[in-house]
Structures are given as C-alpha cells and as structure tokens.
Chains A and B, each alone.
Chain A
Amino acid sequence: MLTLFGMSLVIFVLLRLAPGNIVDILFDSAGYVSEADKALIERELGIDKPVWAQYVDWLRAVVTGDLGKSYRYDQPAWQLIKPMIPVTVELAFLSMVISVLLGVPTGVVSAVRQDTGLDYVLRVFSIAGLSMPSFWLGMVIILSLVGWLGWIPPMIYVSPAEDLKLHLVQFLLPALAVGYRSSALIMRITRSAMLEVLREDYVRTAWAKGQSGRAVVWRHALKNAILPVVTVIGIEFAFLIGGLVVTETVFNLPGVARFLVEAILWRDYPIVQNLVMFIAIVVVLSNLVVDMLYGVLDPRVRYG
C-alpha cells in the first residue's frame, strides 16, 4: 500500500517534469491561437493549478474510482482502457504459458545433461533469447512468414468472436516473440536450481532405490527446484508487461501497453498516470500471488 502510494508520487512528479503539455502540442499543430484561449483550455483541464493541487485532485479521484478523462480523446479514461485490458491480459497470459512450457523442460534437461553438447546448445539458445529484442524478433517472424509462406498475418485486430482461429494465430505470434525471451530466464533459473537439488542426498537415495530416471528427475528433484522458478516467473511477469509495450506496437494490437506509448507521446497525463499506476498494481499483486504460492508449494512456509 505504501509502495503504491510512493509509486503514485514518483509517477506524478516525473510526468509533471516533462516539458510541454498537451495544450502546447495541440496548439503547435493548430498554428497560432490566442493566449487567452490557451489559458481557458488549461483551466478547463485543471492543469493551471499548482502541481501539488493537481496531485491531490488525482489521488482523490483514483481512490473514488474515477480515472479521469483523456485530454486527447475527451472521453473517460476508463472507457478507453476497458476494452484494451483483455487484449493485454490474453497476450501476457499466452506469453507466460509459452515461456514456462519452453523454459522449465529445457532447464531440467540442461541440468541433467550438464556440460554435454546438449547443455551447451540449450544454454546458447537461451542466452540468445535474452539477447534478441522481442520487437525485432516479432518483425522477423512476420517477415519470414510473408517471405517464405507468402502468408500475410492480419494487420488489424481480429476479435475472437469474428474469427477465433485467426485471432489465436494473431496472438500466438507476439506471444511467441515475448515468451521466448522470458523462457530464457526461467530456463536459467530452473537449470541452476535443478543442479543444486540433483546433488542432494535424497535424490541419491531415490536413485539408489532403483527408481526410474524420469521419476527421480521430474517428481523428486523438480518439486524442490521449482520454488526459485516460481519467484522468477513472478518477477518475469513484470518484465513481460514491459516487453509488451513494444510488441503490441509491432503487431499493432490494441492493448494497454501500446496505448501507454501513445499517451506518453501525446502527454495525455490522466491516461499515462492511470496506466502506469495500473501496471504498478499488477506488479505488486503478482508479487503477492507468488508469496502465497510459496505456502502452497512448500509446506515449510507458513504464514501467521
């Protein structure tokens, strides 16, 4: 709670530091308009008041659930943002699934086959994932689809109601680009956690009991190695949202993240403030979920 409050302060102050406001931008494009008109609009938007008063106004509004009005679209912020949330959530969820499906098994295999050729290949594959900008990867995916298969992915958003298959394909591509990157981190953590666990006595006991390799690795060892992995998945979630900012732009998906970039470029304060605040809340919540998952996954962790 305190963290969120602090964040709101940081976000607010940062945005007010920005040179120029929306009125300047609008007036620049409109040519010369009288100073009186300018002052009038500024008063209407409430940005003529001192900064601290604007902050208090905003905070009061947020607490009462009023997200303010977009300067640019002259519409309530919530109405603009609401249809975008499912897009981003779906994309984030798909990317997360892909990254876990890709990251955990490769990490386990890499640990079991430590220092073999396969381990090296998998590690290079994962570091490569960390190195490629996801927006570039997205562009390359689109380009190669067009170039080799002659298939042009839909460049405008297709809702699931319109065409479910096309919709899924449309989301799978960016999810792949983002998920690959996240999977790299998950793979590395899984690998090092597994390496540690595989050296434990109880794993040796399991081997000695004559259990099959698969049972030892996937049942006994992974169970204890998964804890740090869950932490990283939680942290990754925050990174993922950051990654979506560019990916949504590349794939032209009408999500929250792309809207944030637009709003920043337009100095649309209410939108930027609320979106960043929204992201901060999501991050804090995902950390909370991770903490609670600990209790479920590790009986040694108890609360209260």
Chain B
Amino acid sequence: MASEPTAARAEAGFVVAGGRPARPGTWTTLLRFARKKPLGAAGGVVMLLMLFAAVFANALQTHDPIRTDSNAVLARPTEVHWLGADHLGRDIYSRIVHGARVSLIVGVASTLLGSVLGGLIGLLSGYVGGRTDLVTQRVMDILQGLPLLVLALVMSAALGPALHNVVIAISIPIVPRAARVIRASVLSIREMQYVEAARALGIQHLRIAFRHVLPNTMGPFIVLGTAQLGSAILVEAALSFLGLGVPEPYPSWGRMLSVSAAEYAQKAPWLVLFPGIAISLAVFGSNLLGDALRDTLDPRLRGA
C-alpha cells in the first residue's frame, strides 16, 4: 500500500505533510485497536451488544418479561417463545434482554462506586503517606482478607434485598482493590518532577492531588474498572442465584438460574442453558476487553 509509510509516521506521532501534528481520529484509533487486538475488539462488540440490549430492552422484548402465562409453562423454544418459557410461563428471551439491563446497571454502578471510592482512598493514602497511609492500608487489608463473594454475601444480607443495596454490597469488595492499584501509581507519580514543580510554585496539596496527580492515574483506573466489571456481573449473578441479590420483579440472570429453576432443569434444560450463556458471554466480553485495554494502556500491569 502506498499510504503505509505516511500512516506509520502518523502513528509514531510524526509531523505529516502540511505541518500539522497528526492526531488520529476516534475511528482511526478504534480501527487500529481492532486490528492489533482482535480479541479485545470482539469483547468490545459483546459489551456494545449488551448495552444495546439493556437500552432497548422494551423494544426488543417479545413478551412482558414479568407476566406469567399458564399456557406457556415450560414451553419449548419455538417461534412464539424464542428461547422457551420458564416454570411460570414467562418468556426467557424477553427476560434475558431485560436481565442485561439489571446486570449492566448493577455491574457498572457497583464497579464505578467501588473504584471511585477506592480510588479516592488510594489517592489520599498514597499522596499523604505516613501514618495515614499505614492505617488505610491496614483497613484495606482487613477488607481484602475476605473472599469477594463472602463479603458481598454478608453485606447484602446485612443491607436487605433492594437494587441499590446489591450495588453497595458488590462495590465494597472492589474498594480495597481499587485503593491498592491507585495508591501504587500515585506513589510513583508523586515523586515526579512536575509534581515537585507544582509544589514549588506553592499550589495547594488538594489541588495538586486532584489536578496533577489524579489525571495520570486514569490508565490503571480504566484497566481496573473493566477488569472488575466482569467479576461484579458474576457476583451479582451468584448473589441473585442464592436469593440475596436483586429482588423480584426485576428479571436477573442469576435468579433465573436459582434453585427453583434448577428443579425443572431436566425437563426443560433451556431454563438453565440460556441465562448462563448470557452471563458467560457478558463476563467473557468484559474480560476480553479488559485484557486488551490493559495491554494497551498499562504494559506494566501485564499479568497482574
């Protein structure tokens, strides 16, 4: 291709003919990402599909996801019920589409809440240092000493069944993980010369921390977020499966798999099969995307 050398130079950030520094557009960046990380791009597509399903759930549904229908109890997958119906005659396809909404809301909200809270703690702990740092780290140790699911389980039992409580319960175990990652990167940024320069100029600490240090932790922050999103979706599924997650009537993938559904599994395997595939695909997508983003944004974290 004739344009290859130019493109290569543009990629390297060189000045291309015309004298303007080349800044690749959003599309170019995305295309390049897709070419270099095909698996990551596939993950991105899965996540976009999920987002699409979540946003347009009402338009995509073929039935009311919570209306029971005594004529359709355990119906096989047909043209009417694409993925069959459950033991109450509710359409599984429509429930899965709506479940995407719950999964995504809980996943994104708890990841955001957990990593923003943890990120702030990590920022302050890393920036202030000293005794504050030590105490914070011990508290984080305590939180991290419990398996994620066990902590979320106890939390959600303590808070009671409600959508926002599930979000809080899942976000708490994310806090120490986020705090760790952000603190580590703050520690190295804090020693940089430009931060020293800012301090020499007499800029207030709070301003330095938020304006000068925080923006540079965005790489690890995004990586962390995508990595946690998958596990947040999984934890939500597990909690709902155990009956401690998102309450009725919201259709949740995890609850679709719950024990009551499992009883009918031998007669109607589609009851178990499809929601599980939905969970796996969603987590698979976010894992693939997270991996590719990690490789791209933060080579140091590779394998961490």
- Chain A: residues with CB nearer than 8 A to chain B? 2-3, 6-7, 10-11, 14-15, 17-19, 120, 123-124, 127-128, 130-133, 135-136, 139-140, 142-143, 146-147, 188-189, 191-193, 196, 228, 238-243, 245-246, 249-250, 260-261, 264-265, 267, 272, 276, 279-280, 283-284
A246 to B158, CA, bound (A): 19
Query: Are A188 and B279 in contact, CB atoms less than 8 angstroms apart?
Result: no
Contacts of B158 in A (CB 8 A): 14-15, 17-18
**11 new A-B contacts at CB < 8 Å, known A19-B160, A192-B303:** A131-B284, A132-B279, A133-B283, A140-B273, A188-B303, A189-B303, A238-B146, A246-B149, A264-B157, A272-B157, A284-B145
Q: 7 closest pairs, A vs B, by CB?
A: A192-B303, A242-B147, A242-B149, A136-B276, A131-B284, A131-B283, A6-B142
Cβ-based interface call for B154 (8 A):
yes
Query: Are B276 and A283 in contact, CB atoms less than 8 angstroms apart?
Result: no
Query: Are A283 and B147 in contact, CB atoms less than 8 angstroms apart?
Result: yes
* A7-B142, A18-B160, A131-B280 known; A139+B265 contact, CB < 8 A: yes
Q: Which of B145, B154, B257 contacts A139 (CB 8 A)?
A: B257
Q: Which residue of A lies closest to B273 (CB)?
A: A140
Q: List 29 A-B contacts (CB under 8 A).
A: A3-B141, A3-B142, A6-B138, A17-B159, A128-B280, A131-B281, A131-B287, A133-B234, A133-B237, A133-B257, A133-B279, A133-B283, A135-B257, A136-B237, A136-B276, A140-B273, A143-B265, A143-B272, A191-B303, A192-B302, A192-B303, A239-B147, A242-B147, A242-B148, A243-B149, A246-B238, A265-B244, A276-B154, A279-B147
Q: Which of A14, A136, A238 contacts B280 (CB 8 A)?
A: A136
A242 to B231, CA, bound (A): 12
Contacts of A250 in B (CB 8 A): 262
The proximity string for B residues 278-304 relative to A, scoring 1 for CB distances below 8 Å and 0 otherwise, is 011101100110010000000000110
Secondary structure dominating the interface of A: helix
Query: Are A246 and B145 in contact, CB atoms less than 8 angstroms apart?
Result: no
Q: Which of A14, A18, A242, A276 has the most CB of B within 10 A?
A: A242
Query: Are A280 and B145 in contact, CB atoms less than 8 angstroms apart?
Result: yes
CB distance from A241 to the nearest CB of B (A): 5
Query: Are B146 and A280 in contact, CB atoms less than 8 angstroms apart?
Result: yes
A276 to B272, CA, bound (A): 30
CB distance from B278 to the nearest CB of A (A): 10
Query: Are A135 and B288 in contact, CB atoms less than 8 angstroms apart?
Result: no
Contacts of B237 in A (CB 8 A): 133, 136
Query: Are B280 and A241 in contact, CB atoms less than 8 angstroms apart?
Result: no
Contacts of A147 in B (CB 8 A): 266, 269
Cβ-based interface call for B114 (8 A):
no
A127 to B231, CA, bound (A): 12
CB distance from B126 to the nearest CB of A (A): 21
Chain B contacts with A in 232-246, Cβ cutoff 8 A:
234, 237-238, 241-244
Q: Which residue of A lies closest to B254 (CB)?
A: A133
Secondary structure dominating the interface of B: helix
A264 to B302, CA, bound (A): 38
Contacts of B259 in A (CB 8 A): 249
Q: Which residue of A lies closest to B157 (CB)?
A: A264
Query: Are B138 and A2 in contact, CB atoms less than 8 angstroms apart?
Result: yes
A14 to B169, CA, bound (A): 11
A283 to B141, CA, bound (A): 11
Contacts of B7 in A (CB 8 A): none
* A133-B279, A192-B302 known; A11+B262 contact, CB < 8 A: no
CB distance from B175 to the nearest CB of A (A): 12
Q: Which of B149, B155, B287, B303 contacts A127 (CB 8 A)?
A: B287
A223 to B287, CA, bound (A): 29
Query: Are A264 and B153 in contact, CB atoms less than 8 angstroms apart?
Result: yes
Contacts of A280 in B (CB 8 A): 145-146
CB distance from A232 to the nearest CB of B (A): 10
CB distance from A247 to the nearest CB of B (A): 10
Cβ-based interface call for B107 (8 A):
no
Contacts of B302 in A (CB 8 A): 192
A19 to B156, CA, bound (A): 11
Query: Are B138 and A7 in contact, CB atoms less than 8 angstroms apart?
Result: no
Q: Which residue of A lies closest to B238 (CB)?
A: A246
Q: Which of B157, B159, B259, B279 has the most CB of A within 10 A?
A: B157
Query: Are A264 and B244 in contact, CB atoms less than 8 angstroms apart?
Result: yes
